[in-house]
Amino acid sequence: MKNIYKIGTIAILTFISLVKVQAQNVEFVASAPKVVQVGEQFRLTYSLNAKGSDFQEPAFENFKVLTGPNISTSSSVQIVNGKMSQSVSYTYTFILMAVSEGNFTIPPANVTVNRKSVQSNQFTIEVVKGGQTSQTTSGGSSSNAVNKPTSGNSKVFVTIEVDKKSLYQGESLVAEIKLYTQQSLSGFEDIKFPPFTGFWSQDIESPQQIELHRENLNGQIYDVGLFKKVLLFPQRSGEITIDPFEITMIVQERVRSNNPFDDFFGGSYRRIPLKMISDPVKIAVKPLPVNAPAEFSGAVGKYSMTASIDKTRVKANEAITLKVKVTGTGNLKLIKPIKVDFPLDMDVYDPKTNLNTKTTNDGVTGNVTFDYLFIPRYAGTFRIAPIVFSYFDTGSKTYKTITSQEFEIEVERGTGDQETTPGIVQSLTKEDVKYIGKDIRFLKSGFSLKKKETIIYGTPGFYLAYMGSLLLFLAIIIFRRTQIKQNANQVKVKNRKANKVSRRRLKIASAHLKQNNSEKFYDEILKAIWGYLSDKLSIPVANLTKDNVSEILNKHQVDAETVGNLMQLLDACEFARYAPASVSGGMDEIYKQAEMVISKLDQKIK
């Protein structure tokens, strides 16, 4: 019994030592829609990542409390490397209703954790007049600066919003492509992003899935989603136009029915495609001031520069690396290697460029490093003049110049140095080595010439070789002309190679499938299908649409089932690029369908 008691005690103590509350900061966060309508019910949630007690709700002035607080808890246990950790969360939920217009601040709530009072954040809710109601109640904000398109549906539209419409050449601006809707949407088709002609563009990281949140636009609440956020750098001065964004949205509209059972089971809906085009955006780009320093090469932003050298005392023919590092925010990726004045008696190699950047709303942030490798060939003392870097400061709207220190290098005579080689004349500048006394070769005497007995010319072997060479030459000419004639018909060449090219793209898509990279996978599948149709039907990709492809395939007597499978495959891939979770069957099924459709089309179209 004693042994059993000891074993039980040890097990209990061991378990207690393993179970520890996860070390974390206590967070008590309040969340609710930032924009609601008068009379609208909404959810207010307080989330606590620890065990709490004695919850004290704030005073909800100008809001009517319908229910709450409703308390829910959850806990989880994790075991990592033999260590067990436990985390808990408490949620306090209220259902409120707005009763009057205005901007109202909800004070913090209080809760007790480990005998200490913890306070939540306070936040402001904007209440607007009752009117059009959006589909979600997630967070949002006021967006009165957005203009609706001059034409189209006022309940559903798309915009291109920029943070500035006037800037200097090389300065950055942020463009956001957004969706505004007061209707229920079930999908997107035929998405065409603007090419941003006249700009160097860089995508800013944004959620893969389109997340809708609420915004107040001129007194009406919309669900707003972000399609794409891009950082743009104008490459010329003058007025540059950002072309419209185009998309077809599938609106889900409820159909009225006299059958009472339809309402009981949720009713029936119809899908209506709506073609949406945003307004173009004009950007006024100012040229940079004319008084640019001689060292200026196009850098715009806010920068600092450092220069360093790895050795200051070497032997001749030993390599040295000069490192120039530019750090800051701006058009970092467009900065060219900085000019360095090296002594003439050194071999200098092209600089190696290393980029370490991150794209943000402020621009490309990080650093670019230029590594200059050079080799001194002769002994002596050499100086590298200070390195000068100039840029246009977007904050002060002036040019600024940064200058490094001067570098002095002591070069000693090395083993096998050219200066110790006899018979070499070495100039004081970088020149080729010249050998003296070796450019004249004297005639030799005291030997006899012997006549060769056998002569090939005129023999049967000579004529046989001559005829063979002539026949080979004629065969090459005939083969080459045949090949040129075949390749001259580009339509037949593309038709013949269409299947092979599509298989190569499917192979690339298969690699993305194994890496579970859905975006690149669906992109390659679409390129494989559209490229195959373009080559096989001899129609440029830009002129291909689903409608004319279907019509042309019918003329080639392709069965309706294959055409239908092709259209479904194209719709699934285009939709999956923006909502991959909603595609049924997964990437494996899409890949098999693509192989099957291309194989069947190749059998039908000759």
Q: How far is CA 248 from CA 68, 189, 206, in A?
A: 42, 5, 21
In whole angstroms, what is the distance from residue 202 CA to residue 467 CA? 64
CA angle 220, 226, 229 (to 5 degrees): 130
Smallest CA-to-CA distance from 48 within 14, 96, 90 is with 90
360 and 381 both lie in a single domain: yes
Count CA within 13 A, CB hemisphere, residue 415. Answer: 0
For the stretch 138-189, pLDDT in tens is: 444 444 455 555 555 678 888 999 988 999 999 999 999 988 888 777 778 8
Q: Residue 125 pairs with which residues in a beta bridge?
A: 104
Q: How many domains does the chain have?
A: 4
17 part of a folded domain: yes
pLDDT band at 606 (very low <50, low <70, confident <90, very high): low
Average pLDDT, integer, range 425-438: 41
- 3-class secondary structure, 350: coil
Environment class of 383 (CB within 10 Å of its CB; exposed 0-12, middle 13-18, buried 19+):
exposed
| Cβ 546 vs Cβ 567: under 8 Å | yes
Q: Which helix (H) or strand (E) holds 30?
A: strand 28-31
For the stretch 349-374, pLDDT in tens is: 999 999 998 888 778 899 999 999 99
In whole angstroms, what is the distance from residue 360 CA to residue 204 CA? 6
- 3-class secondary structure, 204: coil
Domain end, chosen from 412, 431, 451, is at: 412
pLDDT at residue 133, rounded to an integer: 45
537 part of a folded domain: yes
In whole angstroms, what is the distance from residue 276 CA to residue 152 CA? 7
Evaluated on CA atoms 12, 13, 15, 20, the torsion sign reads positive
277 and 157 both lie in a single domain: yes
CATH number of the domain that residue 192 is part of = 2.60.40
Domain end, chosen from 353, 385, 412, is at: 412
- The amino acid sitting at 431 is E
pTM for the whole structure: 0.53
227 and 307 both lie in a single domain: no
102 and 178 both lie in a single domain: no
280 and 323 both lie in a single domain: no
CA 108 to chain centre: 39
133 part of a folded domain: no
159 and 201 both lie in a single domain: yes
119 and 253 both lie in a single domain: no
Q: Which helix (H) or strand (E) holds 383?
A: strand 380-384
User: CA torsion angle for 165, 168, 170, 174 (degrees, to 10)?
Assistant: -20
339 part of a folded domain: yes
520 and 545 both lie in a single domain: yes
For the stretch 168-182, pLDDT in tens is: 999 999 999 988 888
What is the share, in percent, of the chain residues with pLDDT greater than 70?
79
| Cβ 66 vs Cβ 41: under 8 Å | yes
Q: Which helix (H) or strand (E) holds 534?
A: helix 518-537
What is the share, in percent, of the chain residues with pLDDT greater than 90?
18
* pLDDT of 301 over the 80 cut: yes
CATH number of the domain that residue 50 is part of = 2.60.40.10
Q: Mean pLDDT for the chain? A: 78
CATH number of the domain that residue 386 is part of = 2.60.120.570
| Cβ 46 vs Cβ 109: under 8 Å | yes
For the stretch 19-41, pLDDT in tens is: 444 445 888 888 888 888 888 88
Beta pairing, strands 220-234 & 199-203: antiparallel
In whole angstroms, what is the distance from residue 214 CA to residue 200 CA? 32
* pLDDT of 64 over the 70 cut: yes
For the stretch 576-604, pLDDT in tens is: 766 655 555 578 888 888 888 888 887 77
245 and 330 both lie in a single domain: no
DSSP designation for 332: G
CA 105 to chain centre: 38
How many CB atoms are closer than 10 A to CB 569?
A: 19
Average pLDDT, integer, range 111-127: 85
* Crossing angle for the helix pair 518-537 and 586-604, to the nearest 10 degrees: 10
154 and 257 both lie in a single domain: yes
Domain of 65, in residue numbers:
2-128
329 part of a folded domain: yes
459 part of a folded domain: no
Token representation of residue 12:
């209990």
Buried b (16+ CB within 10 A) or exposed e, 247-259: bebebeeeeeeee
Domain end, chosen from 71, 101, 128, is at: 128
* pLDDT of 18 over the 80 cut: no
22 and 53 both lie in a single domain: yes
pLDDT band at 496 (very low <50, low <70, confident <90, very high): low
In whole angstroms, what is the distance from residue 527 CA to residue 93 CA? 49
pLDDT at residue 427, rounded to an integer: 42
In whole angstroms, what is the distance from residue 208 CA to residue 266 CA? 30
134 part of a folded domain: no
CATH number of the domain that residue 578 is part of = 1.20.120
452 part of a folded domain: no
In whole angstroms, what is the distance from residue 329 CA to residue 333 CA? 10
Q: Residue 325 pairs with which residues in a beta bridge?
A: 306, 369
Query: Both ends of the chain: CA-CA distance in Å?
Result: 88
Beta pairing, strands 35-37 & 320-330: unpaired
* pLDDT of 419 over the 50 cut: no
pLDDT band at 287 (very low <50, low <70, confident <90, very high): very high
In whole angstroms, what is the distance from residue 73 CA to residue 378 CA? 78
pLDDT band at 3 (very low <50, low <70, confident <90, very high): low
Question: Given the structure tokens 């709207």, which residue do they identify?
Answer: 397
54 and 183 both lie in a single domain: no
